[in-house]
Amino acid sequence: MARATRSASGSLQLTFDDLAVPQTLEELEAVVKNCRKCPLAAGRTNVVFGEGNPHALLMFIGEGPGAEEDRQGRPFVGPAGQLLDRILAACGIKREEVYIANIVKCRPPGNRVPTKEEAEACLPYLRRQIELIRPKIIVLLGATALQYLVGSGARITKIRGQWLGPLYGAQIMPTYHPAALLRDASKKRPAWEDFKKVRDAYFGLKRQGL
């Protein structure tokens, strides 16, 4: 069992302190697949651990699985995922090159936003995922990823498109969630500006042979 501790800020955090810290993504995935630490376990069909290149320079973090993700056990495979795939293709980036994960690994009912308790129960897994993958660029897709990884109270509308960090050893780019682009087409142009920054930084790193 993971141990509950109080962080300096007083928020409840679950850590790997008192157990063998998973040393590989495969070990971590085995732990997460059996997790029942929060109420989302009850409603899931599949745990959506995340997928992609275990050595990715570029990582994307969304909010949590939707219906199609829950059904398939894979991140970003529903309508928002198909849009993300098109954006990646427009950037000249293959989905297999990057790593894609979420704040919570189990589907919130009706696609509601995960509660603070759910997100905080699940975050140690994402943090360990980031430590094991060691991406150089992390794209935060939407307000939930921004809130829990940067801890920023900033609105995504205000803060998107600006490099933050380094945090977790990576430059951080917050942008709109692809589902928000599907709801509001006026967000597509600014999101594309953000993705061009990500693309240029990513190909810059690749040119350096990183």
Q: Which of 13, 28, 29, 32 is close enough to bind ligand SF4 by CB under 6 A?
A: 32
Backbone Cα Rg of the chain: 16
Strand 137-141 vs strand 58-62: parallel, antiparallel, or unpaired? parallel
Please give the residue ranges that form the binding site for ligand URA (CB under 6 A). Answer: 62-66, 69, 75-76, 78, 80-81, 102, 179
- Closer to ligand SF4 by CB, 41 or 159: give it: 41
Least gap, CB of 66 to ligand URA (angstroms): 4
Tokens matching residue 208: 């350096």
- Closer to ligand SF4 by CB, 34 or 208: give it: 34
Least gap, CB of 109 to ligand SF4 (angstroms): 12
Q: Which of residues 121-140 bind ligand SF4 (CB under 6 A)?
A: 121-122
Query: What is the Cα–Cα distance from 62 to 139, expressed in whole angstroms?
Result: 9
* Partner from ligand URA, ligand SF4, none binding residue 65, C-beta < 5-8 Å depending on class: ligand URA
Least gap, CB of 130 to ligand URA (angstroms): 16
- Helical H segments across the chain, by residue range: 25-33, 67-72, 79-90, 116-133, 143-149, 156-159, 178-183, 188-207
